[in-house]
C-alpha cells in the first residue's frame, strides 16, 4: 500500500523545525482539498491566467508543526500557477480534515517530545 502523504519540504529556524510541507496522495484527501477551491475562480496575481488546482500536486504547509496547536490546526494550501510557476496566496485551512496529516503531525510532536525528554533525562 502506498504512503498517503509525502514530505516535500521543510524549513528550520535556529536549528528547530519551523514548517513542513506535505503532499497528499490519497484520492479521498485530494478530493477534500480540491473541493475547498471548487467555487473559487482563481486568477494568478502574477501573470493573470486562470488557475486550477493540480490533483497531482496537492500540498499543505504547516507552520510551527511542533508547537501545541491550541485547537488551531491551520495549514496553508500550496497552489502553483502552471503558467508562471508562482505560488498563489491562499486562505488557510484546518488540516484536521485530513486524518493522515493530523496523525503525521501528532507523531512528529510525540517524537520531538520524546527526544527532548531523552536529552534532558
18-65 pLDDT tens trace? 999 999 999 999 999 999 998 888 999 999 999 999 999 999 999 999
User: Cα–Cα distance between 46 and 44 in angstroms, integer?
Assistant: 5
How many domains, the chain?
1
> Model pTM?
0.89
Question: Cα dist. 100→4, 5, 6, 7 in Å?
Answer: 7, 7, 10, 12
Confidence of residue 2 (pLDDT cuts 50, 70, 90): low
Domain assignment of residue 103, given as a range? 5-120
User: Cα–Cα distance between 76 and 7 in angstroms, integer?
Assistant: 15
Amino acid at each position: 500500500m502506498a504512503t498517503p502523504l509525502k514530505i516535500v519540504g521543510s524549513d528550520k529556524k535556529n536549528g528547530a523545525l519551523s514548517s513542513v510541507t506535505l503532499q497528499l496522495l490519497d484520492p479521498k484527501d485530494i478530493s477534500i482539498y480540491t473541493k475547498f477551491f471548487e467555487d473559487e475562480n482563481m486568477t494568478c496575481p502574477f501573470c493573470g491566467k486562470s488557475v486550477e488546482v493540480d490533483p497531482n500536486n496537492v500540498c499543505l504547509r504547516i507552520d510551527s508543526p511542533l508547537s501545541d496547536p491550541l485547537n488551531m490546526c491551520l495549514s496553508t494550501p500550496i497552489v502553483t500557477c502552471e503558467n508562471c510557476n508562482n505560488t498563489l496566496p491562499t486562505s488557510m485551512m484546518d488540516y484536521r480534515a485530513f486524518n493522515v496529516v493530523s496523525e503525521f503531525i501528532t507523531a512528529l510532536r510525540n517524537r520531538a517530545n520524546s527526544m527532548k525528554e531523552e536529552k534532558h533525562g
